[in-house]
């Protein structure tokens, strides 16, 4: 169970760290090296993005990574094989991140079963809100997987309660409006919004979109359970190579 893993980990750390990679970018070998370095540096959970040609909610950094991965021949089958290897080698929970058309074309039931069979713990599908996700939610539940739900700053209290009622594992709280990778203003507004999230949901809260340095982590500690770093690791890798990611993550990791 993803939630019990998170609760357990929280005994050692006051804020867990989840990172994100686009599988096949810049290559599957590099993706593996990224996972290896991130795990060694103390990452607690990881999103493995299956690239999609139309990644609607992603900003320019991840958008480009999606396109490059596809240009270089990343397929769903290759991503599944890669994810299976990662889950077998490294002792942290891995989740798929992708867009609705990938599981839809694969078949929702088959996608959920495969996800469980290869040892992943859940999936994040940002363009599949609960109203459209009945088949997906059912298939994930059947396979004891967590279909990660989202809160945004504009989500009403009533809707938060509805979302919380189907949540499992954790809820991904978007720190602000917009796409991935842009600057987030860590402010009283964010603190109030996170307090609202906390009140609505009993599962752990992850916060992402624009989280990138130690100060962000310090702000989130005590207000959330998991910090999500996405675009920034890709930026670090593009600038300093795969090995630079390890130093970057080590600089962020916290203990309780």
Partner 1 sequence: MKHRGYYGGFGGAFLPEILIPTFDELVSVFESAKTDPGFRNQYETLMAQYSGRPTPLTFAANLTRHFDGAKIYIKREDLNHTGAHKANNVMGQGLLVKKMGKTRVIAETGAGQHGVACATMAAKFGFDCTIYMGEKDVMRQRPNVFWMEQLGATVVPVTDGTKILKDAINQAFRDWVTNMDTTHYVLGTACGPHPFPEMVAWFQSIIGIEARQQILDLEGRLPDRVYACVGGGSNALGLFAGFLDDPVELVGVEAGGKGIDTGFHAARLSSTDAGAGIAQGYKTYFLQDDDGQMKETHSISAGLDYVGVSPILAHMHETGTARFESATDAEVVDALKLTMRSEGIIPALESAHAFAGAFREAPTLSRDQIIIINQSGRGDKDIFTVADVLNDPEWKTFIQTKAAQYHA
Residue by residue, what is the 3-state secondary structure of 230-244? Answer: CHHHHHHHHHHCHHH
Is residue 168 within 8 A of residue 146, CB to CB? The reply is yes
Nearest approach, Cβ of residue 249 and partner 1 (Å): 27
Based on the shown chain and the rule CB under 8 A, indicate whether residue 73 belongs to the binding site for partner 1: no
* The one among 177, 192, 195, 240 contacting partner 1 by CB under 8 A: 177
Binding string, residues 193-232; x marks residues near partner 1 by CB under 8 A: ----------------------------------------
Based on the shown chain and the rule CB under 8 A, indicate whether residue 185 belongs to the binding site for partner 1: no
Q: Which stretch binds partner 1 (CB under 8 A): 15-23, 69-77, 223-231, 247-255?
A: 69-77
Q: Which residues contact 245 (CB under 8 A, 6 or more apart)?
A: 34, 37, 38, 41, 233, 236, 237
Q: Say whether 58 is catalytic.
A: yes
Q: Say whether 47 is catalytic.
A: yes
Based on the shown chain and the rule CB under 8 A, indicate whether residue 179 belongs to the binding site for partner 1: yes
Nearest approach, Cβ of residue 45 and partner 1 (Å): 20
* The one among 30, 127, 135, 238 contacting partner 1 by CB under 8 A: 127
Is residue 114 within 8 A of residue 87, CB to CB? The reply is no
- Number of residues counted as binding partner 1 (CB under 8 A): 40
108 vs 249, beta carbon nearer partner 1: 108
Q: Which stretch binds partner 1 (CB under 8 A): 13-21, 104-112, 192-200, 211-219?
A: 104-112
Could you count the other beta carbons within 10 Å of the beta carbon of residue 12? 12
Based on the shown chain and the rule CB under 8 A, indicate whether residue 81 belongs to the binding site for partner 1: no
Binding string, residues 131-150; x marks residues near partner 1 by CB under 8 A: xx-----------------x
* CA–CA distance, 90 with 40 (Å, rounded to integer): 10
Query: Under rule CB under 8 A, which residues in 106-125 are in contact with partner 1?
Result: 106
Is residue 58 within 8 A of residue 179, CB to CB? The reply is yes
Is residue 13 within 8 A of residue 255, CB to CB? The reply is yes
Based on the shown chain and the rule CB under 8 A, indicate whether residue 159 belongs to the binding site for partner 1: yes
| List 3, 8, 29, 58, catalytic entry | 58
* Residues binding partner 1 (CB under 8 A): 52-57, 59-60, 63-64, 67, 70, 75-76, 99-102, 104-106, 126-129, 131-132, 150-152, 154-156, 159, 163, 174, 177-179, 182
Catalytic residues: 47, 58
């Amino acid at each position: 169970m993803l939630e019990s893993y998170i609760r357990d980990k929280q005994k050692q750390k006051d804020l867990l760290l989840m990172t994100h990679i686009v599988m096949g970018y810049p290559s599957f070998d590099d993706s593996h090296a990224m996972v290896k370095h991130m795990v060694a540096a103390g990452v607690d959970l990881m999103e493995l993005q299956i690239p999609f040609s139309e990644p609607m909610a992603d900003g320019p950094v991840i958008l480009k990574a999606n396109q490059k991965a596809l240009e270089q021949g990343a397929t769903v089958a290759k991503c599944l094989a890669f994810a299976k290897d990662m889950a077998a080698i490294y002792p942290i929970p891995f989740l798929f991140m992708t867009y609705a058309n990938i599981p839809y074309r694969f078949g929702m039931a088959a996608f959920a079963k495969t996800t469980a069979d290869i040892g992943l713990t859940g999936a994040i599908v940002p363009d599949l809100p609960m109203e459209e996700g009945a088949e997906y939610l059912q298939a994930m539940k059947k396979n004891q997987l967590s279909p990660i739900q989202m809160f945004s700053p504009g989500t009403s209290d009533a809707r938060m309660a509805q979302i919380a009622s189907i949540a499992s594992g954790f809820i991904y709280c978007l720190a602000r409006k917009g796409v991935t990778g842009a600057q987030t203003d860590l402010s009283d507004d964010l603190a109030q919004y996170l307090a609202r999230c906390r009140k609505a949901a009993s599962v752990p809260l992850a916060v992402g979109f624009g989280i990138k340095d130690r100060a962000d982590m310090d702000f989130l500690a005590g207000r959330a359970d998991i910090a999500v770093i996405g675009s920034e690791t890709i930026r670090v890798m593009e600038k300093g190579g795969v090995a630079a990611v390890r130093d970057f993550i080590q600089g962020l990791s916290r203990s309780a």
